[in-house]
Amino acid sequence: MVAALVLVHGGGFGWQCWERMLPFVDGPVIAVDLPGRGKHPADLRSVTIADCTRSIVDDVGDAGFGDVVLAGHSLAGSSLPGAAALLGSRAKHVVFIGATVPPNGQSSFDTLDPEIQAMSKDINVDDADIGTLDPAMATAIFGNDLDEEQIAWMLGQLVPEAPKLVFDPVETTPLQNVPCTWVRTLHDLIVVPAKQDTFAACIPGGCDVVDIDAAHMCMISKPKETAAILNEIAARY
């Protein structure tokens, strides 16, 4: 038996960001859309982390999966603990890929550098800009190991993001008794390796760390290598 793999995209993307990796996945797999994009239309301004966790679990149920390995990229790190809690013993392993996992009870915003927090302190979530990330900015922070074709493809996958996800507090205690792995993206410019080490330390039960020679969008630049890490974990169950 191989546990089913559930792929959760990060901020500013939908399920399609995993598309180029899917052919290399060995077992059953779904790549989900979080609320407010793709298969799950919703008012982005109202979407919360709780909405995301419930949506993940609903998609697992719709797929008919039993035991699963949850794998989340970037901002998805804030939604995985709640999804693991709802799935209970069916969540066999949680994998964080270049992710953001705040300390228990804090938000992703709380983990930002103080000067960035100061610039953003007056943001009204209800009025926040929910457009897609500027292409030049996306290229600069996500594209440092992508070729021109890959960058163009990535830019075509950008979608607006739900602003509350950055400000909602995260409860990490559900991870206390779930095996976890951290995939550390060594050339990441947006979640640098040292920051990832800090986030990995927030996993209450601890986690294994596996390095990948890639930047933030490793599922695009190194799809086969990223899938191999996930295949090995899913095969344990």
Total structural domains in the chain? 1
Q: Per residue in 50-94, pLDDT tens? A: 999 999 999 999 999 999 999 999 999 999 999 999 999 999 999
pLDDT given for residue 125 in this prediction: 52
Q: Identify whether the C-beta of residue 18 lies closer than 8 Å to the C-beta of residue 83.
A: no
**Residue among 58, 52, 60 nearest 80 (CA):** 52
Q: Can you give the pLDDT at residue 113? A: 64
Cβ-Cβ contacts under 8 Å for 180 (sequence gap 6 or more) = 93, 94, 95, 96, 203, 205, 206, 207, 208
- Give me 124's structure tokens: 């009204």
Residue 54 sits in a domain whose CATH number is: 3.40.50.1820
Q: What is the pLDDT of residues 12-38, one digit of tens each?
A: 999 999 999 999 999 999 999 999 999
Q: Which of 88-92, 115-119, 189-193, 227-231 has the lowest mean pLDDT?
A: 115-119
* Average pLDDT value for the chain: 93
pLDDT value at residue 97: 98
**Taking residues 150-174, what's their average pLDDT?**
95
Q: What is the arithmetic mean of pLDDT over 104-131? A: 66
> Going by DSSP bridges, is the β-strand pair 91-97/208-212 parallel, antiparallel, or unpaired?
unpaired
Provide the domain limits for residue 196.
4-234
